[in-house]
Structure 1
Amino acid sequence: MSTGKVELNVWTHDPGYVKTFTEYAKKLTDAPGGRYDYTLKFTNADSEALVTRMISTGAAGRGTPEMIGIVISVFPRVMADGIGEQLLAPLDDLIAPVKDDLLRTAPYTIDGKVYALESDTCLSVLCYREDEFEKNKIPTDVATWEEFAEIGARLHEKTGQSLGMVSTGDNTSITNQYLQLLLQRGGGYFDRSGQLVLDSPEAVEVLEFMAKGVASGFLIALPDPYGAPNTAALKNDKLIATVMPNWYNVYGLQANVPEQKGKWKIRNLPGFAGGGHISSALGGTGFAVLKDKPGTAATLELLRQTYLTPEGQMVRFEKGGFLPTLKSLYNDRKLLATEDAYLGQRLFDVYTPAAADSPTFYQSEKLSVLIEALGGPVLETLQGKRKAADAVKEAVAAFKKNGG
């Protein structure tokens, strides 16, 4: 279908995407000379469940959506067994005009082709309580993690407070916190070709750093960054700094401690003395289009307009808070002047340099195998029961043993 009325089924786990796609579909429909008159029908459910349903309906040959949002950690499921190539439309022609300007295509690439577009750059920054830093005379411009850890250990001994957290709950939470710092240090799980690169000096160094931080009290051990124990630590001023992606401002801080408005600030991460980046990334959702359907062309146009144009990216930021994935927009005057009401600061003073120096995350269809192999050894190291080097080697061995 090249013109006219079109009804598209969109599957997503987050109401934020409902707002942005609804807004832009209406904008395109109302535009003079618009090619399509869009009607969108949304299905909201857990991302894992939606991908399971897409695979089963795809095998049956009916019932698939026109577009689906796939959480970054779930995307490896469509990398396996040729599922992505069978069901999804490759987007390389769509992104060609802005390819050199587009951030975060690597996590959604299969055999060199891009099959989903990232919704948010998910830049990891340091969130910190400005009032508590002032009270405890903690500098807000500490240059290195090593120095920050020393300050955190002294603070914990004095007040019982911590300047960061590690997760001790499920394997995904445990490894996510580790992954953020590992990527920042210059390490990773996989290389461009999907081969495991975990067995590295950086992987050992970061895990040792985290374990020492827990032992000193610099880092507090909590089940995850979102649940009741974490909220209690924030409310009770026990956790006064944490490394999390940009979306944590809304989903973590504003949602759980709205009364602390104006007390939190963000900055780019302290660097590791041995090198790496000033930022990291965690999370993300890629939107993919199902191929060979009557509405495929119209869906590709909706995705292009919403995700690959400056106008669409601005709507997504304004309606859903999603950071641009076009590098050039990080120098946009309007965005540079944007001040966040909760944080009380200009966001892009932090996000613009962060976007220019954020690590690349490469995926593998074996990601779930690695998470299961890595979770236990990381947890035992954080608990002081295992050396970091042994934990990494054990995880690598378990990964290979279980089909990695």
Structure 2
Amino acid sequence: MTDISRRSLLRAAGGAGLGLLAAPALAACGSSAAAPVRSGNVTVSLWTHDPGYVKTFQSAAKDTKLMRGSRFAYSVKPTAAAGSDVVTRMMAQAVADGDTPDLAGLIIDQFPRVMNARIAENLFVDLRDTVRSFGDDLLKLAPYSVDKVPYALDSDNSITVLYYRQDVFDKYKVPETVETWEELLEHGERLAKDHKTSIGMVSTGDNGAIVNGFNQFLLQRGGGFFNASGELTLDSPEALEVLEFMTQGVRSGALLALPDPYGAACAAALKTGRLAATAMPNWYNAYGLQANVPDQKGRWRMRTLPRFEGGGHVGSTLGGTGIAVLKDKPHTQAALELLKRVYLTREGQILRYNNGGFLPTLQPLYRDPEFTQIEDEYLGGQRVFDVYGKAAVDLPVFYQAAGMQILIDVLGGPILDALKGRTSPAAALKAGLKAYRQQVKR
């Protein structure tokens, strides 16, 4: 295909809202006329929202042990942008036949934007051959897969655990080994009534935060929004049970309703002791607890999540960023090798943890002494991989679909109405499902 005809096709795709990026002819076209670089000095461009990924890849490029035997001598050129802007600019550049990155950091809730109309297929390297030898040992591929084809590798396993104030639990006689959420909610109701202290939180702010909080519990319970085929599975007994659990917790005070789990109100609740426990992913340790209550060092601990009486898992997940390789570019081969070294080797995963605290996505590493001996001083010197290891072998699988963002938009309001007592959980889910089905038909 000539450059002129290719540009014409891409610009036509842009006029149709990028949907025609899926045109079959595009798959046969490279995104650059330059010959692929197969060895030597190479500068790989990385677009990301998070400086932690910049630090990780730049450190990896300079790590002689990690890069031993490579045909490439790497440098990494980062471009910082908001998470949504990375995807928007990348697709716009592809439409304009412009300068797309070699590596793109795709926040997990932005990936559904490329799941429609074969956009992911036409932009990113198919990673099936890259990951095949790892089998089930490689975690969190599902959220970045389209028709079971993976297009990105997650940077962090994002394991949700229960953080809790050990001193508060001891003082108010809440057992640290409570087995179920239902039992913990009973203790939480007592603490809320007698001491104005909650043992968890739910978001009442924007749609994304509201739905993410709900999904975190839903995945743990064994449910989900979609299945592997992209079919909606929200109309389930598990979804109703979880929303009833959340509304009951808010009503009793066991769960604290906050507009933003990362904002000023949450920080105040942590500082005053109003919030003495919360179910959040591993990264909340640094960005939520240590950032807001550094003076509470040594008082917090973590454990696997209490189970739901009805079943499910002892772990859940929330968040993540997948790194994708842009296809048919001069540096595609070099970028793919760099990604494999940093994300699919023991040494690379150790480097990622040391640079950004990113949990391994290779399951065997949860038994590796390099990780199991790690102690967290903020958590009283606790060996955190004793907890992460138990959760990693019992994590739910999170499936996404092209309609994920529509679902978030239409479900947030009804869930909020249920949490505030303006409607029942059953009516809220019914309203969200109806609105979603109406939207996806258009």
Q: By the TM > 0.5 criterion, same fold? A: yes
Partner in structure 1 of residue 295 of structure 2: 259
CA distance in 1, matches of 2:305, 2:179: 8
CA distance in 2, matches of 1:392, 1:159: 33
Native 8 Å contact 2:60 2:67 kept in 1: no
SS across alignment from 1:80: coil
CA distance in 1, matches of 2:286, 2:378: 9
Partner in structure 2 of residue 118 of structure 1: 154
Answering whether residue 268 of structure 2 is matched by residue 206 of structure 1, we say no
Partner in structure 1 of residue 370 of structure 2: 334
How far does residue 81 in structure 1 lie from its aligned partner after superposition?
Answer: 2.2
Candidates 127, 132, 143, aligned match of 1:96: 132
CA distance in 1, matches of 2:65, 2:361: 24
CA distance in 2, matches of 1:314, 1:327: 13
Native 8 Å contact 1:164 1:218 kept in 2: yes
Answering whether residue 247 of structure 2 is matched by residue 221 of structure 1, we say no
Partner in structure 1 of residue 425 of structure 2: 388
- The amino acid of 2:278's aligned partner reads T
Answering whether residue 401 of structure 2 is matched by residue 364 of structure 1, we say yes
Partner in structure 2 of residue 73 of structure 1: 109
Partner in structure 2 of residue 345 of structure 1: 382
Native 8 Å contact 1:28 1:36 kept in 2: no
How far does residue 28 in structure 1 lie from its aligned partner after superposition?
Answer: 5.0
CA distance in 2, matches of 1:242, 1:33: 45
Partner in structure 2 of residue 41 of structure 1: 77
Answering whether residue 324 of structure 2 is matched by residue 288 of structure 1, we say yes
Candidates 54, 63, 66, aligned match of 2:90: 54
SS across alignment from 2:194: helix
- The amino acid of 1:74's aligned partner reads Q
SS across alignment from 1:403: helix
CA distance in 1, matches of 2:85, 2:66: 34
CA distance in 1, matches of 2:404, 2:329: 30
SS across alignment from 1:42: strand
For residues 291-314 of structure 1, give each alpha carbon's deviation from its aligned partner in whole angstroms, at most 9, with x where no partner exists.
000000000000000000011001
Answering whether residue 314 of structure 2 is matched by residue 275 of structure 1, we say no
Native 8 Å contact 1:178 1:207 kept in 2: yes
Aligned residue-pair number: 404
- The amino acid of 2:288's aligned partner reads G
SS across alignment from 1:162: coil
CA distance in 2, matches of 1:127, 1:29: 36
Structure 1: runs of 5+ lacking an equivalent: none
Runs of 4+ that moved beyond 2 A: 28-34
CA distance in 2, matches of 1:298, 1:231: 43
Q: 1:36 to 1:274 in 2, by over 3 A?
A: same
Candidates 232, 236, 243, aligned match of 2:279: 243
Q: 1:337 to 1:29 in 2, by over 3 A?
A: closer
Answering whether residue 57 of structure 2 is matched by residue 17 of structure 1, we say no
- The amino acid of 1:65's aligned partner reads P
- The amino acid of 2:439's aligned partner reads N
Answering whether residue 146 of structure 2 is matched by residue 146 of structure 1, we say no
Candidates 122, 131, 136, aligned match of 2:167: 131
CA distance in 2, matches of 1:28, 1:99: 28
Native 8 Å contact 1:29 1:37 kept in 2: no
Candidates 299, 311, 314, aligned match of 2:335: 299
- Name the TM-score, length of structure 2 as normaliser: 0.90
CA distance in 2, matches of 1:30, 1:261: 34
Native 8 Å contact 1:279 1:357 kept in 2: yes
CA distance in 2, matches of 1:335, 1:84: 34
SS across alignment from 1:62: coil
Q: Report the identity percentage.
A: 54
Candidates 184, 195, 201, aligned match of 2:231: 195
CA distance in 2, matches of 1:330, 1:8: 30
CA distance in 1, matches of 2:130, 2:38: 16
